[in-house]
Every structure is written in C-alpha cells, then in structure tokens.
Amino acid sequence: MDMVKLKTFYTAAKLGSFTKTAESLFFTQPAVSLQIKDLEQEYGAQLFERIGKKLRLTHAGEALLPLAEQILSAYMESQAVVEQARDSTSGSIRTGATNYTGIHFLPELISGYLKRFPGNKVSVHLEYASKIQAMLMSNEIDIGIVGSNQFRILEESLLETELYRDSITAVVGPEHPWCSRTSISCEELAGEPMILPIKASLTRQYIERRFSMKKIKLNIAYEIENIYMIKKMVEHNLGISLLNSSEVRRESEAGWLCRIPIEGVEIQRRIIMLYHRDKPLSAALTQMIDFLTETRESYQNLLIGSNSQKKN
C-alpha cells in the first residue's frame, strides 16, 4: 500500500476537489488524478464520480474512507514511535537478572539510572543465569545482570562486561569479640560454629570447594535456606556465617552485623553485564550500558566498604 496515494485519496474525499487536494498536498492536479487512478486500479473499483464540478465518493470510496483514516493515523503514530525510540532520551529497557543480582544489586542500580534519566522506564525479569542468556538470544530482554563464580558464556553472540566483584566475608554479630577485627584467617574459622546456606545454594558450594582446597573442614552448626534468617541468627550470636558482602552491606553500615575479610582464601563472585552484540542500541539502552560502566568504581567501593560499628 502506497501511503502517498492513500493520503491523496483521503484528502480528496474530505475536500471534494482534486484542485484543492493538489494545492493542499503541493502536487499538480494531473499528479493527483494519476494517483487516484492508480489506486482505483489497485482496488479494482472506481472510488470517485464527478457530477458537474462536484466530486463525490462512490459506494466503494465511502467504504474505503474510514479504513484509510485508520491506516493513515496508525502510520503517523508508527513514525512518531520510531522517531522517539531513535532520537529521544526516553525509552524502555527490559532487564534480566538472577535472584542474587536482582535482590542485592539491581534495585540500587535502577534507582541511580532513573535519577539520571527520569524519562526512561525499566522492567525486570528474574530468572536463572542460563535462562537470562536464552532470553537475550531471543530478544526477550535487552540486557542481563548476572553473578557467577565460574560463569561461562554459552553464546558467542553475547558481549560480557565485568561490573563488580563481590567477596564472601565472615559475618559476626555486633557483640562478638571478633567484631573489632580488620581480618581473620580461614584457619581460625575451622573451630567456630557456622551458620551457612543450604548445600544446594551456589554460595555454599563455592565456600566448601574453596575451603576444601585449603583442607579446612568447617563446623556447620546450622543450615538455613533463608538468608534473612541467617543474618538474624548471626546478629543474636548463634554462630558465624560466610556471606556475600553485598548481602550484609546495609546491616554492616547500620552496626547490626560486622563484615570481616578472610585472609588466605580468595572467595569472590563476579557480577557481569550481558547484551547481544548484534542488537541495535536504543538511546535508553546505550545510556544504561554507559551508566553501569561509568559507576563501576564508585559502586565497587560501596561493596567493599568497612564495618561502621567496629569496637574500639
């Protein structure tokens, strides 16, 4: 369908004159007549009839008029939408995250992004890391934020950028004698009652693998599935836990828990950003990628932090 010819038909129907239509659309009158003739040949029906100097729609023309108006309106709307997506600073971003990154990273990152670009919108899908990759490949999401210890990119078409490194630290209650310590050795942890996530969790598996390499057996007093219960039990001095620094950052800053770096064993989880290398980058998505890249250092410093309530 030629939108120019359809617009000529619509204008002629409204004005009732080929001459006025030519003036309105800046065409010559013969050009208007030719466009209408071409349109009539395309539909196989006469759209106008002349009675003296008056131009009137035929029955077929009357049937076409409301549809022509809808088509032209939808076409104009599509132009506006594409122009906005191409040129405007506003837009929508579909974000995918794992439970870990979605809970401990994404809310703060989205908040900072929207403060800088208030006209944009961000939707969030929580899935497993492998599912995030599949959603990126099928264009169901625009960008993925995932965390991993030994994460492998399964698709060569995905671009990876490391954003942060989240260290696993020892976590004790505010009344624990270790709360004033600036570090602790992994050997010291061996005899302490530990409150750890369940065996099925990635954090637990990674902890056990790293301590096994050091030939250190942990004394596991409690296995708890809920991270918030673990933190409450540590706060009440029922044991020590090993958790990602991001999971206890706010409690540490508030003085409810104390984070203590572990010497002798490096336990880190990478936080990475993924997006498809062939995906056209909208203004909003470009802004998101740039924002995450530019704020890496400052946000990493927040993750590292320090225990704000260490005892003197």
Give the model's pLDDT for residue 1. 60
Cα–Cα separations (whole angstroms), residue 88 to 94, 114, 130, 161, 226: 17, 15, 33, 26, 43
Residues 6 or more apart in contact with residue 135 via CB below 8 angstroms: 96, 125, 127, 141, 144
Q: Which amino acid is at 108?
A: E
**pLDDT band at 48, cuts 50/70/90?**
very high
Give the model's pLDDT for residue 129. 80
Let me know: does 262 contact 184? Beta carbons within 8 Å.
yes
**What superfamily does domain 167-268 belong to in CATH?**
Periplasmic binding protein-like II (3.40.190.10)
Let me know: does 33 contact 18? Beta carbons within 8 Å.
yes
Let me know: does 181 contact 159? Beta carbons within 8 Å.
no
Tell me what the mean pLDDT of segment 167-179 comes to: 91
Give the model's pLDDT for residue 295. 86
196 vs 138, more confident: 196
Tell me what the mean pLDDT of segment 226-249 comes to: 91
Tokens of 106: 């994404």
Report how far residue 168's alpha carbon sits from residue 203's, in angstroms, rounded to the nearest whole number: 9
Burial 19-46 (b: 16+ CB within 10 A, else e): ebbbeebebeeeebbebbeebbeeeeee
**pLDDT band at 264, cuts 50/70/90?**
confident
Give the model's pLDDT for residue 259. 92
Tell me what the mean pLDDT of segment 39-59 comes to: 89
83 vs 190, more confident: 190
pLDDT for 267 beyond 80: no
Give the model's pLDDT for residue 130. 78
Give the model's pLDDT for residue 304. 62
Give the model's pLDDT for residue 310. 43
Number of other CB atoms surrounding residue 198 within 10 Å: 11
Percent of the chain whose predicted confidence (pLDDT) is above 70? 90
pLDDT for 110 beyond 50: yes
pLDDT for 242 beyond 80: yes
**pLDDT band at 224, cuts 50/70/90?**
very high
Cα–Cα separations (whole angstroms), residue 263 to 88, 185, 189, 216: 50, 5, 11, 13
Report how far residue 231's alpha carbon sits from residue 61's, in angstroms, rounded to the nearest whole number: 73
Give the model's pLDDT for residue 83. 62
Block residue for tokens 């932090």: 305
Q: Where are the beta strands (DSSP E) in 74-148?
A: 92-97, 121-126, 143-148
**pLDDT band at 31, cuts 50/70/90?**
very high
Of 1.10.10.10, 3.40.190.150, 3.30.230.10, 3.40.50.720, the CATH number of 3-87 is 1.10.10.10
Tell me what the mean pLDDT of segment 181-206 comes to: 87
pLDDT for 281 beyond 60: yes
Name the β-bridge partners of 123: 94
pLDDT for 248 beyond 50: yes
Q: 92-164+270-304: same fold as 3-87?
A: no
**What superfamily does domain 92-164+270-304 belong to in CATH?**
Periplasmic binding protein-like II (3.40.190.10)
Where in the chain are the domains? 3-87, 92-164+270-304, 167-268
Question: By mean pLDDT, which of 9-13, 155-159, 223-227 is the weakest?
Answer: 155-159
